[in-house]
Structure 1
Amino acid sequence: MSKIALRNFWFQFHKWIGLILAIVIIPISITGSALVWHDALDKALNPQRFAFTSSEAALPPSAYAAAAQAALAPGERIVSLRFAKDEPVMVAAAQPRKEGARGRPGRTVVYMDPGTARVLDKADGNAGLVRFMHGLHGSLLIPGIGRQIVGWIGVAMLISSISGLWLWWPTVGSWLKGLRWKRHRNFDTNLHHQMGFWIALPLFVLSLTGAWISFPAFFGKISGDVQQSRPGQPDRAAMMRAKPIEKPTTSLDQVVTASTALSPDRITSVNWPTDVKPEWSVSFNGKTVAVDDATGTAKLDKPRDTKETTARLMRRIHDGTGMGLFWQVVIFIGGILPAILAITGIIMWWRARTWRGDLARRQKAKAQAATA
């Protein structure tokens, strides 16, 4: 294949990837850009949840559980209680499962003042703009196969970033010529070329990490990060479908007393027993205590493996967690520019289509005049 033919192949490939996927690339890119600032966005959209008097929990866990239960609807059962510094105390409750429903039951989240257990807000766990953006970015709001679809879009964007860089490279002369603004007479084309070059590497990284997150089993085999299930433990799918026990045998106060005897640190979360795993789980800054609901017996659980795996690193690179302000800004810009590239690409295609149509009509008219 000649260089011209190869370049034309990459041009057609790059063009049709952009045109076909533009309708999904734009929302995925923009929501990914916004979610870099997830916490700040959540505070801006829901200020009532952060209108607390004290940032430190001042009451026993049972006080927050009782306050939350009073605010819940009949049939809703508490699943977990979470404490975090400078955040409201959060109680998640499972909603009653509808007849014939499958998968994870819905969640209601109650937000409370850490100092007084006063209810600040109550919301559906899947409602709100931030949750909507998470769903749109991660699965296009398509149940079941949405995550895989987004993963393949990531693969397509990865290839697009490579082919775009190939097309940007000047065919004659130094590569520095490609950095000139006026390579074309149209503003949108120059904008497409310039932004495409500067975003190529970040877009490659974000597309690769996005695909990695969508296909953990495939990439896990490559990196050696395949997670092994713990002996005797139910699988993840069963745990997500589990329902909290309606009336636990061991009270929350008894659970706290038994668990703090083994770990006196500050409690960060409590998970209620379920029909799949009938034991309480209490976390203390890295340690976890399991309390059997039937007997009230407490034992230190096997510590989770917290070492940095390739999968965790890929997720942090993708969403910017713990990566510093510079990379977070890069991700933010890296979410906006692909959307602009998609729009300018559509404009360029439409102009070329119109130009070719006008040329064909002029040639046809000229041919008809010549034969008249």
Structure 2
Amino acid sequence: MSKIALRNFWFQFHKWIGLILAILIIPICITGSALVWHDALDQAINPQRYAFTSAQAKLPPSAYAAAAQRVLAPGEKIVSLRFAEGEPVMVAAAQPRKGSPAARPAGRPGRTVVYMDPGTAKVLDKADGNAGLVRFMHGLHGSLLVPGVGRQIVGWIGVAMVISSVSGIWLWWPTVGSWLRGLRWKRHRNFDTNLHHQLGFWIALPLFVLSLTGAWISFPAFFGQISGEARQQPRRGQPDRMAMMRAQPLATPKTTLDQAIAASKKLAPEQVTSVNWPTDLKAEWSVSFNGKTVAVDDGTGAAKLNAPRETTETTSRLMRRIHDGTGMGMVWQVVIFLGGLIPAILAITGIIMWWRARKWRGDLAKRQKRKIASA
């Protein structure tokens, strides 16, 4: 294959990837940019949740649980209580499942989240845990809101964008002279074409990295074989993650919240960061203290300090941090933001370029027909 033929092949490949997937690429990229600063976005959209008098919890955990229970609907049962510095106290409650067990949808039950003032336990907001703009954006970015196979669809779009990044650099590279010639703004008479060329060059490497890490997150089993990481298995004798998500909290635990915390503090006398209620699958309280977790048997009240979870940096964790910017610093977070925003611009300018070329070919064909007719 000649160099011209190879270049034309990559051009067609690059063009049709962008045109066919543009309607999916644009929302994935835009939501990815916005979710880099998830917490700030949530605070901007829901300021009422952050209108608290104190950033530190000043009451016993049972006070927050009682305040939340008063605003919950009949049948809703508390599943967890979470404390975080500078955030509202959050209580999550399982919504009652409707219909027979066979007719119920798979996955965990719906959640109602109650947001409270850490200083007074005043309820600041109550919302469906699966509703809201931020949750919608997470669903759109991670699975295009398609149940079941949505995550895989997003993964294959990531693979396509990896190829598009490589083919874009191939097409950007000047056919003659130094590569520095490619940095010229006026490579074409149209603004959108020049914008496409320049933005495409500067974002190609970040886009390659973000697309690859996104595909890695979507296909953990496949990439785990490449990196040599075995898929994480539940501890021996413990239910798997999906079973835990489907579990329902016990309606009337034998051990109270205060008793569970008192028992756990004998093993970890620190500030409580979260509490998980006992469920029909695992009848024990789980109380966390800044990295330590104590399990309290609901039937006997006996407490046991759990072995610390593995915190070693794995390849899969690194890929996720690179993709979402967690703990990666402001500079990389800005790169991620641009790495989502600019590809959306590239998709739009690519469509404009294709439409203009299509119109030009149509006009050329008409002129040729008129020329033949007049001959």
Q: Give the TM interval when normalised to the shorter protein.
A: over 0.9
How far, CA to CA, are the matches of 1:154 and 1:178 in structure 2?
26
Residue 335 of structure 1 pairs with residue 349 of structure 2:
no
SS in 2 for 1:247: coil
Shift of residue 221, structure 1, vs aligned partner:
1.8
How far, CA to CA, are the matches of 1:80 and 1:222 in structure 2?
37
Counterpart of 2:264 in structure 1 is 259
1:218-367 equivalent positions in 2, closer than 5 A = 218-226=222-230, 227-367=232-372
Counterpart of 2:166 in structure 1 is 162
1:16-27 equivalent positions in 2, closer than 5 A = 16-27=16-27
Counterpart of 1:84 in structure 2 is 84
1:74-153 equivalent positions in 2, closer than 5 A = 74-99=74-99, 100-102=103-105, 103-153=107-157
**Gapped runs of 5+ residues in structure 1?**
none
- AA aligned to 2:91 is V
Shift of residue 37, structure 1, vs aligned partner:
1.2
SS in 1 for 2:18: helix
Counterpart of 2:63 in structure 1 is 63
SS in 1 for 2:78: strand
How far, CA to CA, are the matches of 1:144 and 1:302 in structure 2?
34
How far, CA to CA, are the matches of 2:26 and 2:328 in structure 1?
24
How far, CA to CA, are the matches of 2:339 and 2:45 in structure 1?
23
- AA aligned to 1:47 is P
SS in 1 for 2:112: strand
How far, CA to CA, are the matches of 2:75 and 2:303 in structure 1?
28
Shift of residue 56, structure 1, vs aligned partner:
0.8
The one-character-per-residue Cα deviations of 1:188-224 (angstroms, maximum 9, x if unpaired) are 0000000000000000000011111111111112212
SS in 1 for 2:59: coil
**Gapped runs of 5+ residues in structure 2?**
none
- AA aligned to 2:48 is Q
How far, CA to CA, are the matches of 1:44 and 1:17 in structure 2?
35
How far, CA to CA, are the matches of 1:2 and 1:239 in structure 2?
58
How far, CA to CA, are the matches of 1:354 and 1:160 in structure 2?
24
The one-character-per-residue Cα deviations of 1:293-342 (angstroms, maximum 9, x if unpaired) are 11111101121101111111111111111111100111111111000000
- Give TM-score, length-normalised by structure 1: 0.98
Counterpart of 2:10 in structure 1 is 10
State, as a whole percentage, how many aligned pairs show the same letter. Answer: 82
SS in 2 for 1:231: coil
How far, CA to CA, are the matches of 1:29 and 1:285 in structure 2?
34
Shift of residue 273, structure 1, vs aligned partner:
0.8
Counterpart of 1:176 in structure 2 is 180
The one-character-per-residue Cα deviations of 1:133-185 (angstroms, maximum 9, x if unpaired) are 11111111111111111111011001100000000000111100000000001
- Give TM-score, length-normalised by structure 2: 0.97
Residue 193 of structure 1 pairs with residue 175 of structure 2:
no
Cα RMSD (Å) of the superposition? 0.8
Residue 369 of structure 1 pairs with residue 374 of structure 2:
yes
- AA aligned to 2:104 is A
- AA aligned to 1:61 is P
- AA aligned to 1:301 is N
Shift of residue 98, structure 1, vs aligned partner:
1.9
Counterpart of 2:44 in structure 1 is 44
Moved more, 293-302 or 98-107: 98-107
Counterpart of 1:31 in structure 2 is 31
SS in 2 for 1:110: strand
Shift of residue 104, structure 1, vs aligned partner:
1.4
The one-character-per-residue Cα deviations of 1:65-112 (angstroms, maximum 9, x if unpaired) are 111011100000111000001111000011011222222111000000
